[in-house]
Amino acid sequence: METKERSYLKQALISCSTMAVAAFCAMNPLTANAQLAPAKLEALKTELGKEIDKQQKNTQVMVDMVFSFGELGFQEFETSKYLTDILKKNGFTIEQGIAGIPTAWTAKWGSGKPLIAIGSDIDCIPKASQKPGVGYHDPIIAGAPGHGEGHNSGEPLNITAVLALKKIMEREKIPGTIMLWPGVAEEQLGTKAYYVRDGYFKDVDACIFTHVANNLATSYGDSGGNGMISVRFDFEGESAHSAGAPWKGKSALDAVELMDLGWNYHREHMETTQRSHYVITDGGDQPNVVPSKSSVWYYFRERSYPKIMQMYKDGIKIAEAAAKMTDTKMTYTVLGSAWPGHFNQPMAEAIYQNIKSVGLPGWSAEDQALAHGIQKELKSPEEGLPTTLSVLAKPSASLSSGGGGSDDIADISWTVPTIVLRYPSNIPGLPGHNWANAISMATPIAHKGVTAGAKAEAMTLLELFTNPELLKNAKTYFTDVQTKETKYIPLVSKTDKPAIELNRKIMEEFRPAMKKYYYNPAKYNTYLEQLGIKYPTVRN
C-alpha cells in the first residue's frame, strides 16, 4: 500500500511537472505542439503578405542592384558580396567559399530542426547586355554579359521572403533553421552536384528553389527535362609553319574537327530524346601556324542517368579515335552536370494553394505595353503579360517524352524533398538565354513578380516550419515514390573539381566598363532612372 507521505509527494511532483511543462510551452509554443491552428496559420500568412508589401522598396533595390552587376558563372563576386552583406546585417551566419567555389556560400539563421534550404541562381548570360525597359535591342555595353535569363531576381525574392518570415519566427518562437544558398554558374551546370557531394545538404529536411518565369507556378514529379554532363575535350599536337612545313605539324584543330564530324554522324543513330551541342573554345592562334592545341566543349543531354553516361562514354570514344587519326594527345575534363529533375508532390501541392491565394500581380498599362512591344519586335504572339494563373503541372508522361533543357537543382531534388517555385518577372514568347529576356528584369514587371513570388514562398516556408505532417508527407513521397526504384548516382566523381576558372577572362575584359553602370540607390530611385530610360520605351 502507498503511504500518505508517498501519495502527497507523488501529487506534488506531478503538480510541479505540469507547471514546468506549461511554463516551457508558454515560452516555446510550437515545441510541444508544432501544428498551428488553421485560423492562426491563416492570420500569420496574411501578416507575411503585408510585411512583404512593406518591403517592396528594398526588394526593388536588390533586384536592380544585382541586375547592374551582370556577372557570369563562377565570377559572381560583386553579387555574392552584396547579398551576403545584407544577410549578415540581418543576423545570418555566413560560410564563404563552400565546395571550393569562391563565389558560393551558405547563410544560416535559427536553431534546431527542421532545416529548410532556400536557393536561387545568380549568374548571367554572355553578350546579353540590355537596357531594361527598352523593347528592342539596345545594350548598355555592346558585347558585355547581362541578365538575359533573369537570375538577378531569385535571391532578392528569397531574401524578401525569409526576412519577413524571420520576424514572425522570432516573435512566435517557432523553432527551425533557415539556410539560403546561391546557384553559382547554373548556366554551366557547374556547382550544385558539388554542394551535394561535399555534404551541404546532408542534414537538410526540405528545399525550395526559385526560378524566374512568366507566370506564378510550380510542378511535381518528373519535370520532363534532360539530365546532362558537360565535358571539355583538349587535344595537343605539334605546331609548324602551315605553308613552309605543314608535314611537320600535328594539328590539334584537325582532331577537334574530326571529333565533331564523328559525333554529328553518330547523332543519326541516337534516340530522339538526346540533345547534344558543342562550341570550339580554342581553334588555334592564326592560320599560318598549325594549331598545337585545340579544345571543344560538349553538353551531352538525355532523360536518364544510364543514357547520359552512355553518351559520355561515346563522346570519349570518338575523341580518342580523332586523336589517333591525327597523332595527337587527348585529355578531357568534366565542367558540370545535372540529373533529370523530379520534384516533391506534397510540397508542390502546398505551395500551389499559396500561389492561388497570392494570385498574379496587377499589371499596369505600361507593363503590358513593354510586353507587347518586345513580342511584336521578335514576331512572337502579342499576348502581353499573363492574367490567368498556370495550373499545377503534373509529371511528364514517360522517359520517352521530348527531352529539353537541364537544371542542376535536380541533383538537390534527388538528395532532399525539393520544389521549384516559378514567378512572373519575365515576358512570354521570348527566346531565352538572350538579350530580350533582360528587358523586363529591372522594371516594375520584375519587381511585382518577385513580390508575388516572395509571398507564396514565405507562406509555404511557414507551413514547413509549423506543420510536421507536411514534412512527413514530403519525406514519405521522397522515399516511397521518387527514390523507391531510382537511386541517385552522381555524374561527377570524387576527384572532379568545379571549373572556377570559367568566364574569368570575359569578366576581366568587361568589368571595368560595367562598374560605371552599377546601380546607385542612394542617388537614384530606380535603375531605370539612373540610366535615363522612360518606361516603357518601345517602337511606334
**Cell numbers linked to 148:** 538575359
Please choose, from the candidates 204, 98, 202, 118, the residue with its C-alpha nearest in 3D space to the C-alpha of residue 162: 118
10 Å CB burial of residue 185 (0-12, 13-18, 19+) is buried
**Together in a domain, 168 and 261:** no
Which of 310, 337, 364 corresponds to the end of one domain?
A: 337
* Helical spans, DSSP H, in 436-503: 444-466, 468-477
Contact assessment for residue 288 and residue 221, using Cβ atoms and an 8 Å cutoff: no
The answer to the question of residue 33 being in a domain is no
Please list the alpha-helical segments (H only) found in 145-269. 154-172, 192-197, 252-267
Looking at the fold, whether 267 and 213 belong to one and the same domain comes out as no
pLDDT band, very low/low/confident/very high, at 398 (cuts 50, 70, 90):
low
Q: Side chain identity at 414, as an amino acid letter?
A: W
pLDDT digits (tens, 9 = 90+) for 53-95: 999 999 999 999 999 999 999 999 999 999 999 999 999 999 9
Do 384 and 471 lie in one domain? The reply is yes
Residue 517 shares a structural domain with residue 404? yes
Tell me which of 302, 337, 372 is where a domain ends.
337
pLDDT by residue (tens digit) across 495-513?
Answer: 999 999 999 999 999 999 9
The CATH number linked to 184 is 3.40.630.10
Answer yes or no: do 112 and 179 share one domain.
yes
List strands edge to edge, sheet with 176-183. 93-96, 105-111, 176-183, 115-121, 206-213, 418-424
Asked if residue 538 is part of any domain, the answer here is no
Task: Report the mean per-residue pLDDT for the chain.
Answer: 93
Inside any domain, residue 161? yes
Task: Give Cα separations from 443 to 305, 430, 528 (angstroms).
Answer: 40, 16, 7
User: Cβ(165)–Cβ(103) under 8 Å?
Assistant: no
DSSP secondary-structure letter at 95?
E
Question: What CA–CA distance (Å, rounded) separates 221 from 338?
Answer: 16
The reply to whether 393 and 513 lie within a common domain is yes
Last residue of a domain, one of 309, 337, 365: 337
- pLDDT average, residue stretch 261-265: 98
* Residue 15's pLDDT band (cuts 50, 70, 90): very low
Q: What is the CATH number of the domain that holds 255?
A: 3.30.70.360
Domain with 164, as residue range(s), is 38-225+340-483+509-531
For residues 330 and 416, membership in a common domain is answered with: no
Sheet strands (E) in 67-104: 93-96
Nearest to 518 by CA among 159, 81, 161, 125: 81
**Does the pLDDT of residue 17 top 80, yes or no?**
no
* Res 29: pLDDT: 46
In a domain, 288, yes or no: yes
Q: How many domains does the chain have?
A: 2
Provide, rounded to the nearest whole percent, the portion of the chain with pLDDT above 70. 92
Pair 193, 409: CB distance under 8 Å: no
Residue 539 inside a domain? The answer is no
Cβ contacts of 190 within 8 Å, gap of 6 or more: 73, 74, 184, 230, 335, 336, 408, 498, 499, 502
- Per-residue confidence band for 35, with pLDDT thresholds at 50, 70 and 90: confident
How many CB atoms lie under 10 A from the CB of residue 339?
Answer: 30
Question: Cα–Cα distances in Å, from 49 out to 264, 335, 455?
Answer: 53, 41, 6
Cα distance between residue 471 and residue 459, in whole Å:
15
Q: Is the peptide bond before 536 cis (omega within 30 degrees of 0)?
A: yes
pLDDT digits over 175-200, tens only? 999 999 999 999 999 999 999 999 99
pLDDT reported for residue 394: 85
Same domain, 463 and 332: no
Task: For CA atoms 470, 474, 475, 480, give the dihedral sign.
Answer: positive
Q: Is residue 9 in some structural domain? A: no
**Helix ranges, 173-282 (H):** 192-197, 252-267
Q: Nearest Cα to 188, choosing from 511, 500, 508? A: 500
Collapsing DSSP to helix, strand or coil, 317 comes out as helix
The C-alpha atoms of residue 188 and residue 369 are separated, in whole angstroms, by: 34
Query: Using 50, 70 and 90 to split pLDDT, how confident is the model at 224?
Result: confident
pLDDT digits (tens, 9 = 90+) for 226-249: 999 999 999 999 999 999 999 999
Let me know: does 414 contact 477? Beta carbons within 8 Å.
no
Q: Return d(Cα 319, Cα 84) in angstroms, integer.
A: 42
Q: Report d(CA 164, CA 159) in Å as an integer.
A: 9
The DSSP code for 119 is E
Nearest CA to 122 out of 161, 178, 66 is that of: 66
235 and 203 in a common domain: no
Q: Of 360, 369, 409, 322, which is closest to residue 118 (Cα–Cα)?
A: 409
Residues 364 and 465 in one domain: yes
